[in-house]
Each structure stands twice: as C-alpha cells, then as structure tokens.
Homo-oligomer: A and B are copies of this chain.
C-alpha cells in the first residue's frame, strides 16, 4: 500500500505502541473476537486480537522460548503437555523440541485464530499439524475440569484477563489446573506486565498464592507488549525452579534458541525491587 499508514494500539492508561503497516493480510470477526493479521514494516507479520498485539514474527521468540523452556527443562521427563490458549502455535513449536514429549494438547477456544495463523504466520504456526499435537477447539475452563492428574507441564498461554481469556483468571480455574497436574508437574502462566498491569498482577498472584505451595515469578523484555517488560509465573506442588535443570538437553536446546540460554534461565528469576513488592 502507498499510504503511510500506522496502527496504534492504545493501551488503557494513555500509552500506545504504533506500527507502520504495509498490508492487511487477514481481518475477520470470529464468534469470540476481532482477528487481524497485518504485515508491518518493523516487526514483520503481526497478530492482533481485539486490537491488542499478541505476537510478531520479529520478537515472538522471546515469549515462546521463555514460556516453554523454563518449565520443560525443570522437569526430568515431560511427556504429556497441555497448552491453554496459544492458538498462534509458537508454544507448540518450542515444546516439540523435547524428545520425551509424547503428546501436546492445544486447547484454544477460537478455531479461527488457529486457521488464520496456519495460513499467514507459518514460521510460528508451522508445527500445528505435527502428529503429536492434539488440537481441542474448546474452552480451557471446561477442558481442565475434565482432566485430573494428566499432565507433566501445563502452559497458560492466554490473552489478557478480559474478553475470551477472562475465565482463565479465577481461583476455580487454577484449582483445576493444579488437579490436572501430575504430582511432580509444573504450570507456567503468563502473568502480564509489572509496569502496565499492576492491578492484574496483584489479582493473579493473589489467586496463585492461595492455590499453589510454590509460586515463583520470572521476567523478560517483550518489545511489543505494554511497557516492554513481561512476567510469567512458575507454579507447582513440589518442584522449585533452579532445583533441577536437565543440563544435557539444555545444551542442545540453547543452540537453537535466540533468547533463551543457561545464563538467562538462571537469571530470569532475579526480580527488580518494584516487582518483588507486587508479587510477594
């Protein structure tokens, strides 16, 4: 397009991230949300849901490596994996790097997100057709309630706590997540920006601290998320982060990653003072 067109994601508190747009590749309203895939000048192809930036070709590796490798390398033999949300397929792609993984259930409420990403974002969604992947197009809230003691690792790769992701931010949901984990299982949930989403972080950690005995925050920069700084929560019944790391596999994984490596794993749990105050 010849227009000098910019899309600005205006975030609730007077902050916006603007991207120069070359083309609109996909724009449809599903049963759940508005889905747009744009080709942008700086971040390549990007996915917006209800106007909020979810993932970009240029920086998606940070989010997807960090949500996956921290828990999977902390488990001695992850076989059964559940991803709730994550319809873009980036987390599936990382999880399939583990030889021990037998099955990855992707429970995504919106089938149109999966189809759009498979067509327009193949570098992210390209492994969704792998035979180990069991795609369940349904609500994670009901799926998790039906599967007790079933998973080694559960990854909550959700949108923000409004719109279709809202039910993923309740005590009932996380109680079911805990029950769906095997005894030495690990859950990681994205837990929003410690700068832009301080209210949401307090809500999420309030719930997680009630449900899990081990609750540990880790952080990384995500250029395209509000305020550029993101957090995840590592929760379990038994396993503490950094107690056990599969170092042999880590050495192989970090040869293929662009963000994650051994030093990043060891340092990601170091929290700035203002983040400690939010999550403790």
Contacts and interface: CB of A to CB of B under 8 A. Distances in A.
Nearest to A40: B14
Interface stretch (A154-162, A173-181, A223-231): A223-231
A237 B254 CA distance: 32
Task: With a 10 A CB-CB cut-off, give which of A219, A229, A263, A273 has the most chain B CB atoms.
Answer: A273
Contact of A258 (B267, B268, B272): B272
A270 B272 contact: no
Contact of A273 (B13, B16, B259): B259
A41 interface: yes
A69 to B, nearest CB: 12
A16 B258 CA distance: 24
Contacts of A266: 267, 270
A53 to B, nearest CB: 12
A264 interface: yes
Contacts of A43: 15
A120 interface: no
Task: With a 10 A CB-CB cut-off, give which of A20, A227, A259, A261 has the most chain B CB atoms.
Answer: A227
A14 B10 contact: no
